[in-house]
Amino acid sequence: MKIVLDTCVLIPALVRDILLQVAYQGGYEPVISDAIDMELREHLPLIMQRHKGRRRNLEEKTEKVLKRIYAVFPHNPVNIPEGYLALAEESQSVRDPGDYHVMAAALYSQSDAIVTFNIKDFQEENFPDGVALYSPDSLLLKILRDDPESVKSSVKAIADRSGRYGRAMTYTDCLMVMSKTMPGVAKELLWAGE
């Protein structure tokens, strides 16, 4: 299953990490377009600055994050031919013209879904056949129901490697942070226990 990851789900570090860890463990094939890559290069340093309060080396840190992603998923970023933006606009499945590139990536890569926090910016009833729309929470809940161990082990892997670039977190700490942006899957995993 191929899934386009919108920029907004790749900016929050824990959301990005859990989505990509599940993909790494075989949950799906992530698609990041050249336009999404450009948005990440623009917005990620601003978020890092606001979060960490420092200005030094933000572009360098952004580049490291992207290099790590593309080392694991080397088919990314995907270059989308210009004509696909027009197809996305014609599909009338996108309310926000700033998101045409997300639908264009789904059309060009023949993806099965788009994952975004901006559900309201899309008109799922006009989506092409075979393309679904998920929030990170709803996607992870779907995967959790199909393969509970993949999501659980992904959260454990993130907890195990935490502390290298930020604060160290336990499995439960990860779930508590996840509960802010992905409450459904966090609740399910908390109930299931470690």
pLDDT tens digits for 123-157?
Answer: 888 888 899 999 999 999 999 999 989 999 999 99
If asked whether residues 165 and 116 sit together in one domain, one would say no
If asked whether residues 33 and 51 sit together in one domain, one would say yes
C-alpha 40/C-alpha 43 separation (Å) is 5
C-alpha 116/C-alpha 105 separation (Å) is 13
Q: Which residue matches tokens 């360098």?
A: 60
If asked whether residues 95 and 146 sit together in one domain, one would say no
Is a pLDDT exceeding 90 seen at residue 71?
A: yes
Q: Among 89, 112, 136, which residue terminates a domain?
A: 136
By C-alpha distance, which of 16, 47, 8, 18 is closest to 175? 18
Of the listed ranges 22-31, 42-51, 107-116, 135-144, the least confidently predicted one is 42-51
Number of domains, the chain = 2
By C-alpha distance, which of 9, 7, 44 is closest to 137? 9
DSSP H helical ranges for 25-99:
34-52, 58-72, 83-90
If asked whether residues 129 and 174 sit together in one domain, one would say no
pLDDT tier for residue 171 given thresholds of 50, 70 and 90: very high
